[in-house]
Amino acid sequence: MKKNRSSDAIKHLTDTQIKIGKVQIRAAPIMETLTGFMIAGFIYYAGILISQGEIGINNFFSFLAAMMLAYQPVRSLATVNMLIYQGAAAGQRVFKIIDREIKIKDDNKLPSLQIDKSNIKFDNVSFQYETGKERAIKNISIDIEGEKITALVGHSGAGKSTILNLIPRFYEPQGGKIYLDSQEINKVSLKSLRDKISLVSQDVILFDDSVENNIKYAKLDATEQEVKNACKLAAADEFIDKLPNKYKTLIGENAIRLSGGQKQRISIARAILKNSPIILLDEATSSLDADSEEKVQNAIFNLTKNRTTLVIAHRLSTINKADKIILMKDGNVLKHGTHSELLKNSKEYESLYKKQMMH
Ligand SMILES: Nc1ncnc2c1ncn2[C@@H]1O[C@H](COP(=O)(O)OP(=O)(O)OP(=O)(O)O)[C@@H](O)[C@H]1O
Ligand SMILES: [Mg+2]
């Protein structure tokens, strides 16, 4: 990536400042000791001069007081340097992000997405990551029927998450087109597109804020009752009620105080509150205990009801609920159909099913 001037300038400043800073940190105690000796020596010498009557005691004390008063501001001047380099180091990190080129641009002039059945269509789509050696998605054409559950299955690296990420336009495909209810997704405004999509990913991102605010993030003007209803449907209400301050409990960054299943249910509650017609779900691979597993499954059931759902399935229970299963391998679609059709027609599916779904 092309480097930008602001971050280069900051980097240069920071490097120099760090060098100065290091010297300064080491020098500080030596300077303090020397200053101490100097003042002691000065008072001793002044004492001799006073006893010889060469300077008046009043003059000496005025000078001493002035020197003491000036000492602190002069010292602060020396530490300003340290503050500057601390700020520059922080700035360097921030500028790196600000300087990044925005590849997916929102154009307000584009029309809003009009939702009907929320059918999703991939037409000959190819995509390669910037750092990828080969295409993660190779000329894929699929139909995801509206208001139904479609499951994506396949070995690790088959391109399942990539398919999911292309729908809200986190990445732009190099070839082919993606349609949502016959509207090309890059011909409608990005906001209107993302408003219609809820993404429940494998790694739930939670903020260092209260449970309530973490859920409300999906709909900032939601009422307390709306948040509670969403949590009930997501089977999250019972554990939230047991937290010390219930909905107002602060959950640390990445919610270290919550279990995997609890985090997932918060993320599902968020999606329920958003009430979008399209659900993209990357099912967690980590195994949950039987009790949480059932609760998460119920929550997912409530979330996906009457909505277009595209789920990356790792569990048999999800596979069983799916109306259609798409089997992927190395960026291609191998086959699609129902669970029983695929079991009959595809050796690949049978072996994957036996290996992955049996746990
Ligand atoms: N950010 C990225 N940069 C470069 N290559 C990537 C990136 N993300 C994924 N890939 C590559 O693209 C291919 C498809 O990855 P993808 O994440 O879609 O697989 P997946 O089917 O979701 O796998 P898993 O089941 O392990 O989640 C892989 O070869 C992967 O190494
Ligand atoms: Mg994945």
pLDDT of amino acid 22: 58
- Residue-wise pLDDT tens digits, 181-211: 989 998 898 888 999 999 888 778 888 888 8
pLDDT of amino acid 137: 92
C-alpha distances in Å from residue 150, one per residue of 259, 279, 281, 305: 28, 10, 10, 13
pLDDT of amino acid 139: 92
- Which one of the ligands is nearest to 130 CA? 1
pLDDT of amino acid 245: 80
- Which one of the ligands is nearest to 160 CA? 1
Which is more confidently placed, 307 or 357? 307
User: What is the position in ligand 1's atom list of the atom closest to the CA of 161?
Assistant: 22
User: Which of 11-20, 117-126, 229-238 is predicted least confidently?
Assistant: 11-20
Three-class DSSP category at 145: coil
Residue nearest to atom 2 of ligand 1 (CA): 129
User: What is the position in ligand 1's atom list of the atom closest to the CA of 158?
Assistant: 21
Pocket of ligand 1 (CB under 6 A): 129, 131-132, 136, 154, 156-162
pLDDT of amino acid 255: 59
Topology of domain 120-356 in CATH is Rossmann fold (3.40.50)
**pLDDT class of 18 with cuts at 50, 70, 90:** low
- Residue-wise pLDDT tens digits, 295-342: 777 778 878 888 899 999 887 777 888 899 999 999 999 889 888 888
pLDDT of 242 strictly over 90: no
Domain spans of the chain? 5-98, 120-356
User: What is the position in ligand 1's atom list of the atom closest to the CA of 163?
Assistant: 18
Pair of tokens at residue 269: 């509650």
The per-residue b/e assignment along 17-31, b for 16 or more CB within 10 angstroms, e otherwise, is beeebeebeeeeeee
User: Which of 3-7, 85-89, 205-209, 277-281 is predicted least confidently?
Assistant: 3-7
pLDDT of amino acid 120: 93
- Residue-wise pLDDT tens digits, 23-59: 555 567 787 888 889 889 988 998 898 889 888 888 8
- Which phi and psi (to 5°) does residue 116 adopt? -115, -90
- In one letter, which amino acid is 114? Q
Top mutation candidate among 129, 134, 314 for ligand 1, by most atoms within 8 Å of CB: 129
Please identify every residue whose CB atom is under 5 Å from ligand 2, which is an ion: 161
Top mutation candidate among 130, 134, 138, 161 for ligand 1, by most atoms within 8 Å of CB: 161
Ligand 2 midpoint to CA 329 (Å): 13
pLDDT of 261 strictly over 80: no
- Residue-wise pLDDT tens digits, 67-116: 888 888 887 887 788 888 899 999 998 988 888 887 777 777 888 888 88
pLDDT of 157 strictly over 50: yes
Residue nearest to atom 7 of ligand 1 (CA): 129
pLDDT of 127 strictly over 70: yes
Across residues 115-140, what is the average pLDDT? 91
- Which one of the ligands is nearest to 281 CA? 2
pLDDT of amino acid 278: 92
State the pTM of this model. Answer: 0.72
pLDDT of 9 strictly over 70: no
Top mutation candidate among 138, 153, 162 for ligand 1, by most atoms within 8 Å of CB: 162
pLDDT of 238 strictly over 80: yes
Q: What is the mean pLDDT of the chain?
A: 83
Which is more confidently placed, 169 or 262? 169
pLDDT of amino acid 116: 87
**pLDDT class of 1 with cuts at 50, 70, 90:** very low
Across residues 254-276, what is the average pLDDT? 81
pLDDT of amino acid 162: 93
C-alpha distances in Å from residue 98, one per residue of 10, 88, 91, 180, 274: 13, 15, 10, 31, 29
- Which one of the ligands is nearest to 129 CA? 1
